[in-house]
Amino acid sequence: MDVIEVLREPWPWYVAGPLIGLTVPALLLLGNKSFGISSSLRHICAAVIPANISFFKYDWKKGIWNLFFVAGITIGGFIASFYLANPDKIVIADATQQTLSGYGLTSFSGLMPMEIFGTSSILSLKGLIFLVFGGFLVGFGTRYAGGCTSGHAITGLATLQWPSLVATVSFFIGGLVCTHLLLPFLFTLVL
């Protein structure tokens, strides 16, 4: 089996998990940096928005390494999607397919339901609700929690920070509430 074939296959948790986990001590040891993604958006806004907003008035160039890190993630995602994609169809459990079809979600591109994320759906009311309003809620939650899921769940827990434990538990509770209560309501409302 060649290297490309190995890269195309899904990696087991016991390989991918430690690789992600080892990113935290590597960043801390090599440059005293914390792993997280949401701060890069603040750096981008501080670099390009000439407004007189106190939240964006800081030396964003000290965090420029984070922008290169996010650029690397973006380029890696592009390469993985277009050149290393697994050609096999993603298998979704029958019970999950039945539940989703009950909400009107029947066609998928990978794991994305096209009734929500398809080109024709993005410019509709449901696209507005799921993408714009959902994106706003994610951004608000990230700012309110003082970081994103990767920052809190990976770095915060690895460095034994109590606020990160509270945030991570809250992320999971919020995900369960949204999955079992909010999404079914929204699906029946807009689909």
**Placement of tokens 């890069």 in the chain:** 40
* Eight-state DSSP code of residue 153: I
Instruction: Enumerate the domain spans of the chain.
Output: 1-88, 92-191
Instruction: Give the three-state DSSP class for 109.
Output: strand
* Bridge partner list, 108: 113
Alpha-carbon distances, residue 69 vs 8, 12, 33, 46, 72 (angstroms): 22, 24, 11, 17, 5
What are the structure tokens assigned to 120, written together? 């024709």
**Helix segments in the chain, DSSP class H:** 3-8, 13-31, 38-48, 64-82, 94-102, 114-117, 119-122, 125-127, 134-145, 149-150, 157-158, 162-177, 183-190
> Rounded to whole angstroms, how far apart are CA atoms 62 and 139?
23
Instruction: Give the three-state DSSP class for 92.
Output: coil
Query: What's the confidence (pLDDT) of residue 191?
Result: 61
> Rounded to whole angstroms, how far apart are CA atoms 153 and 137?
19
What are the structure tokens assigned to 3, written together? 């290297």
Query: What's the confidence (pLDDT) of residue 90?
Result: 78
Walk along the chain (191 residues) and give the pLDDT tens digit of each residue. Answer: 678 777 777 788 899 888 888 888 888 888 888 777 888 888 888 888 877 888 888 888 888 888 898 899 899 989 988 888 777 777 888 898 888 888 888 888 777 888 877 887 777 777 777 788 888 888 888 888 888 888 888 888 888 899 999 999 998 999 899 888 988 887 777 66
Query: What's the confidence (pLDDT) of residue 190?
Result: 66
